[in-house]
Structure 1
Amino acid sequence: MTRLPAEWEAQSAILLTWPNPDGDFAASPDAFDQVCRCFEQLTLSIARYQPVRISVGSDSEHTRLKSWLAAQSLAHAVTLYRLPSNDVWARDHSPIGVYRDGQTQLLKFGFDGWGGKYPADKDNALAPQLAAQGAFGNTPLVPVDLVLEGGAIDSDGQGTLLATRSSVLDPRRNPARSVQDIEQCLLEAFGLQRILWLDHGALQGDDTDGHIDTLARFVSADSIVYQAAGDADDVNREELERMADELRALRTLDGRPYRLIALPWAGVHRNEDGDDLPASYANFLILNGAVLMPTYGSPADAVALDALRGALPEHDIVGVDCQALIRQYGSLHCVTMNLPA
């Protein structure tokens, strides 16, 4: 028997992939420095609750990070692995943990840079290299012949998967696989009873073709937190309103409507070229006893934090400034991956 746990279940660690000085955030020294400060704040916040395992591709950053961890007295809670990477989006290139016949396994799906949009060879090789260096202990790494990103799926821990068709069923990711074939692979790999598909919600500026972790997330077996639409300035308004209608039509396994908890719109965020950035409060991370929520320097930050306090009252709710991250079209959940206990 196989089961894909929910994110609020017990975890053993969080994986991060540290920014590279010559990577996507290196367009300016300020951008790289700011994203490193964001990662440092993330590391500090996560390490209060559970261990952190970080892949670092740069010699200079590895040396600097070792010194910084020692100064923060975090060496006991954070383990570094000197491994090359293309980018920082650990949610999508990391393995996905399941429980199979009472044992933990890590499923290694293929990662191709979101349908070939970006180079991904080093990222795709990270999980086997981490396993070889002991990052996963005795937990086996099991290859699965399917391209799938961790940010594309969300689990209630009881056999229901929430996902968007636009991302998971994108023909560029698995061109030789039929929709029925992909669905069957997911059902078997994760031990699912069903998949709840959404057809709307993809945010402008989102390179992932509509990852669910920017849109709607389970916070219990009968509750979903979702990114609500904003005012007339929100270019995503129509898509998010249609997604909310889809969510209202969904039913739990026992036939009841889900309790839906709306997160406010984060406001207009654009880069220097005027392109819209996908700032979403749904891109939060659940830890052992805490939730880290991205903030964007918006008045809505406080409203979103309060909404998550109501949704997950037994957790500490901690805001982390992610304005640097959305410059490259991702946010907090996108750069982290939880390993189950």
Structure 2
Amino acid sequence: MVCMGSLLFSASFNMLIPELPAYLSSLGGAEYIGLIIALFTLTAGVSRPFSGILTDTIGRKPVMLFGAFVCLICGFFYPILTSVSGFLLLRLAHGFSTGFTPTAASTFVSDVVPHKRLGEAMGIHGIAFSTGMAIGPALGSFIKLHFSYDVLFYSSSAMALLALLLIFNLKETLPQRKEFNWSLLKVSRKDIIAPEAMPAAIVNFLAYIGFGVVLTLIPDWTEAVGFTNKGMFFIVFTISSLLVRVVAGKLSDRHGRIKVIMVGVILLIFAQFWMGYINTPTGLMVGAGIYGLAMGVATPAIYAWTIDLSLPGQKGKAMATMYIAMEAGIGLGALLSGWYYQESISRIPHTFYASAILALIGVVYILFRKGKIAN
């Protein structure tokens, strides 16, 4: 049930992504395309410390419900806030959804499975979330092509409502729960980051910068090479990711997280160079497949590694730290690539090369720190 909830939740906000650059341009804000993802990830990242604390105190279920509720409400406001400033403000608010639900959902998964199968379980949960990432953009582009932006936004809310109903029927897994009070939101510096989870967070940050580039520029890049459905890249990317996640998760359970993460990040580097160099429809779809394979290998192992590194009773805080790094990477990639792009298609390959180099730094970090970080 938590996997189905995550699938629908993921589809809810991902179905908007391929069409938002064109929508923002129609509002007169073409120069702010990089902010579509950057603002969303900013509030997602800022909210992570709070979601981590609340996940470990009031429970996994309320935190998941809050994130889904934000998605539900935001879908209704896109047709109302039709100025550029209103749109950007709404992107900020919408980011709270992913700041809360994924943190609690991943922690929930770690509660209900044996630790020796944690990597496998994270792979299965990742399949659900990634399926939403595939269904969402493809469905979103279909709705926009055949109906309108308003129908697209309301459909996003409908997906969030279904996720909300599924999550509501879950049984809470936190044994010692506290009642919510505002004092829980008083976050000190030591509550923001779990230092023990930083190795996984650093690798995740460097790997996900490229994903911010993909989310921002792939819609225009896909159209430039000849596709009318801007969700095609995400379909191939996600199918490829789905095919490998469970196997990769099992391998990380048997042979260690580090080895599997290294393979995934090296594939990621190759995929980003490929997407920048090969600018044909077939080439881009091959690149999407390799990119999905890379993320499908690395992500479950990184998530499981984060739980491995966490302290007793602080799994939510560790997962929040990892997600903060992920959101920072996505946001930075989106912001810088959007700033550099300026609607010049010839600049897109350069952004892929740059993100590949940053992922390479992640490999170097693992190699130099291998003897000092837990496997």
TM-score normalised per structure 1: 0.28
Give the structure with the larger strand fraction: 1
Give the structure with the larger helix fraction: 2
TM-score normalised per structure 2: 0.26
* Structure with higher RCO (Cα < 8 A, 6+ apart): 2
